[in-house]
Amino acid sequence: ESVEFQIEDQEFRLKPDHELRFEVENKNETVVLELKTGLAEIFGTELVKSKPYKFYFGAKIAVFTWQGCSLRLLGKKGISYISKETPMMSYLNCHASLEQLRTKSEEEKVRGPITMVVGPTDVGKSTLCRILLNYSTRMNDLGRRPIYVDLSPGQGQISVPGTIGAVMVERPAEVDASFSQAAPLVYHFGHTKIGINSTLYNILISHMAEVIHQQMDENPRINYPGLIINTFGWIKGKGYQHLTHIALAFEVDVILVLDEERLYNKLVRDMPGFVKVVLLPKRRGVVQRRNKFKLEGREARIREFFYGSPRNVLHPHTCLVRFSDIKVYRILAPPIPNALMSLDTQKTDFKPKLEGVTPGLNMMHHVLALSFSTTVEEDVVRNSVAGFVCVTNVDTSQQMLTLLSPQPKPLPETIYHMSDVQFIDNNA
Ligand code: ADP
């Protein structure tokens, strides 16, 4: 079925419904891809003919063609192969069903489809979300703006790890970048593992769902196209309860289950009848990331937040702040007894508390989230966050912190949330 090649400078001819898969396996290596003839796409974004696309270390790519194409790949010592085993047909069918629901909601002037993608880690959940969002904005003469919601704090795709967020999607993502991020809605969770503070996670989910529903009610452009919600790979035990909490809080209409029949059966049993649960095949070729690679991925996300990417370089600043001039808090939330981990945490009304953190060595390398609130009296926990800094040095004798920051000066009167997430800035 598949043949393996060494990439150096090679041309590939793909028949309709085939894909070319390749990885950039070594640091400091780039691979350049060009579409020579025909039509092709990468995770739902169409390629422009003869335009060179560069890929860097860690990229795991599938170039798919519906019509057939020829491609050129330039780069060193990677493994690549062509496959005809792709789930693209069933993904396209999903997209078509969603489009029908969108048209229907436009006609009836009601909320569009709320879709949630679930499944274990590394089955292609993020990839499926990307394809569905790209397809829905490809021919966007209607000015539709579906919302991408990423609820996995381990990846932190919308912002940095330790957060969950949402972003309006206006057009397909660039081949080598994530969706362009005008004013994302970001909530600080502070951990990469949800289980560390399940209460807080559920509170944030309920609140975020409310905020997004309200935005949808006010704006038809985002209301009719609906939401695509990406979730985490923790599908057993408490993780499953979190998934059902998300489904109820966001009032999902469609759940796409990747590659897990047991999860599919459980959801069919537990979800209200109007929720359509669909089992989809796992993407072949989806690469299992080792734990080390996941850590590197997290680090890369934070590095990108501060320093940008090769195609969009950013120049962050270094600021000195006196211990006495900075207000840092940590969010505490009481652990929920298992039986109470019910579907409506908002009704059980646990109040998360803020605890002041005294600046010192304990902050070294930690990410701090900038709250939109300026006083602790405001609902600091439920408020979304405006940005991030990272503590790159702690000087206890001078009582000073060094912060890596996108802004030249730290804003006065800012309240910071300390994250568990750490980033070691090699440039500092
Ligand atoms: P999940 O969100 O379920 O953890 P992802 O969608 O992030 O999984 O996929 C894991 C990795 O596999 C990503 O790096 C993605 O680029 C890659 N990938 C997805 N589909 C394919 C494919 N058909 N061929 C090669 N790589 C793929």
Closest CA to 284 of 54, 63, 87: 87
- Whether this model's pTM surpasses 0.95: no
pLDDT value at residue 130: 96
On whether 75 is known to bind a ligand per the annotation, the reply is no
* Contact in structure between 223 and 112 (CB atoms under 8 Å): yes
- Count Cβ atoms below 10 Å from residue 97 Cβ, excluding itself: 15
On whether 127 is known to bind a ligand per the annotation, the reply is yes
31-38 sheet: strands from edge to edge: 9-14, 69-74, 31-38, 53-55
60 lines ligand 1 (CB under 6 A): yes
Please list, in sequence order, all residues whose beta carbon lies within 8 angstroms of the beta carbon of residue 233, skipping any fewer than 6 positions away: 119, 120, 121, 122, 123, 125, 152
Residue 289, classified by CB atoms within 10 Å of its CB into exposed (0-12), middle (13-18) or buried (19+), is middle
CA 215/CA 69 separation, integer angstroms: 42
> Which residue of 286, 288, 291 sits with most ligand 1 atoms within 8 Å of its CB, as the best mutation to test the pocket?
286
CA 97/CA 58 separation, integer angstroms: 33
pLDDT along the chain (428 residues), means of 10: 62 96 84 96 96 89 96 81 92 96 95 97 93 90 88 91 95 83 88 92 94 95 96 96 97 96 96 96 68 79 90 92 92 62 51 86 96 72 86 96 90 87 86
pLDDT value at residue 28: 79
294 lines ligand 1 (CB under 6 A): no
Q: Which DSSP state fits 45?
A: E
Q: From atom 21 of ligand 1, which residue's Cα is the shortest distance away?
A: 286
* Contact in structure between 131 and 45 (CB atoms under 8 Å): no
CA 205/CA 209 separation, integer angstroms: 6
162 lines ligand 1 (CB under 6 A): no
102 lines ligand 1 (CB under 6 A): no
124 lines ligand 1 (CB under 6 A): yes
pLDDT value at residue 1: 46
User: Which helix H or strand E contains 135, and what residues bound it?
Assistant: helix 125-138
pLDDT value at residue 345: 46
On whether 60 is known to bind a ligand per the annotation, the reply is yes
CA 190/CA 205 separation, integer angstroms: 14
> Which residue of 24, 82, 83, 127 sits with most ligand 1 atoms within 8 Å of its CB, as the best mutation to test the pocket?
127
* Contact in structure between 124 and 283 (CB atoms under 8 Å): yes
On whether 126 is known to bind a ligand per the annotation, the reply is yes
Ligand 1 atom closest to residue 287's alpha carbon, by position in its atom list: 12
CA 100/CA 102 separation, integer angstroms: 5
Closest CA to 251 of 226, 268, 230: 226
pLDDT value at residue 303: 93
Ligand 1 atom closest to residue 128's alpha carbon, by position in its atom list: 6
What tens digit of pLDDT does each residue of 321-371 get? 999 999 999 988 666 555 445 545 444 456 677 889 999 999 999 999 998
- Count Cβ atoms below 10 Å from residue 337 Cβ, excluding itself: 7
Ligand 1 atom closest to residue 130's alpha carbon, by position in its atom list: 6
* Contact in structure between 162 and 192 (CB atoms under 8 Å): yes
Q: How far is the CA of 22 from the centre of ligand 1 (A)?
A: 11
45 beta partners: 42
Q: From atom 16 of ligand 1, which residue's Cα is the shortest distance away?
A: 60
Q: From atom 15 of ligand 1, which residue's Cα is the shortest distance away?
A: 60
pLDDT value at residue 106: 93
On whether 360 is known to bind a ligand per the annotation, the reply is no
Q: From atom 19 of ligand 1, which residue's Cα is the shortest distance away?
A: 286
202 lines ligand 1 (CB under 6 A): no
pLDDT value at residue 4: 55
Q: From atom 9 of ligand 1, which residue's Cα is the shortest distance away?
A: 124
- Count Cβ atoms below 10 Å from residue 19 Cβ, excluding itself: 23
- Count Cβ atoms below 10 Å from residue 182 Cβ, excluding itself: 8
pLDDT value at residue 391: 97
Q: How far is the CA of 289 from the centre of ligand 1 (A)?
A: 9
Q: How far is the CA of 30 from the centre of ligand 1 (A)?
A: 19
Residue keyed to tokens 């702040």:
321
139 in helix, strand or coil? coil
pLDDT value at residue 427: 76
176 lines ligand 1 (CB under 6 A): no
On whether 36 is known to bind a ligand per the annotation, the reply is no
18 lines ligand 1 (CB under 6 A): no
Token pair of 203, please? 């509170």
* Contact in structure between 64 and 3 (CB atoms under 8 Å): no
Ligand 1 atom closest to residue 121's alpha carbon, by position in its atom list: 4
Ligand 1 atom closest to residue 129's alpha carbon, by position in its atom list: 6
145 lines ligand 1 (CB under 6 A): no
